Amino acid sequence: MKIKYCSLLGLAVIPMVAGCASTPLALSPVGPGPGRPAPSASAGRLQVFSATQQSNPIGDIGPASYSYPHTGYDINDASGQRVEFVANHFSDMDESPDVVKLSAGHYQIVAESSCCGLVTVPVVIENGKTTVVHLDRNWWPPRHTAVDRVVWLPDGEGVGWSGAIATSP
């Protein structure tokens, strides 16, 4: 009898878990940080510090040597259509995320977060500025930064500067 109830409970939980896993977490827009744009720049840049994955490029030869490249992500336009896939590392030993040039505008980044799984982050790209998105738990805004100037993950980790602040006059 106990097994029957446990089985039913398990069957009821599976759709709930699957529903959560299939719907990416959506965040507020992230924009470029404080600073002046580069003069006469005709494009903006995007850098995404997505979750990392352990890589052992040396394999079984010699002592274990691990690196942690950032995972790839999709750049979608404002309507959700895929614009580009970014591998986000050059090789399995490259731990620096790629910097991508984009035309000014609004985009959506779909990437892995270290704490929340798959997330959708709207981003604002401005000419001459770099928008940086932090999803790897390694960024903290400067002390005394107003809360509304930062986009936060549900666990309290900072993701980047608010795009609403970046685009306001």
Tokens of 94: 């490259």
Residue keyed to tokens 């982050």: 121
Question: What average pLDDT does this structure show over 142-166?
Answer: 84
pLDDT tens track for 84-130: 999 997 666 667 898 999 999 999 999 999 888 899 999 999 999 99
Lowest mean pLDDT among 38-47, 127-136, 144-153: 38-47
Backbone angles phi, psi at 22, to 5 degrees: -90, -15
Question: For the range 98-101, what are the long-range contacts, defined as Cβ-Cβ under 8 Å and sequence gap of 24 or more?
Answer: 98/47, 99/45, 99/46, 99/47, 99/130, 100/45, 100/46, 100/47, 100/75, 101/43, 101/44, 101/45
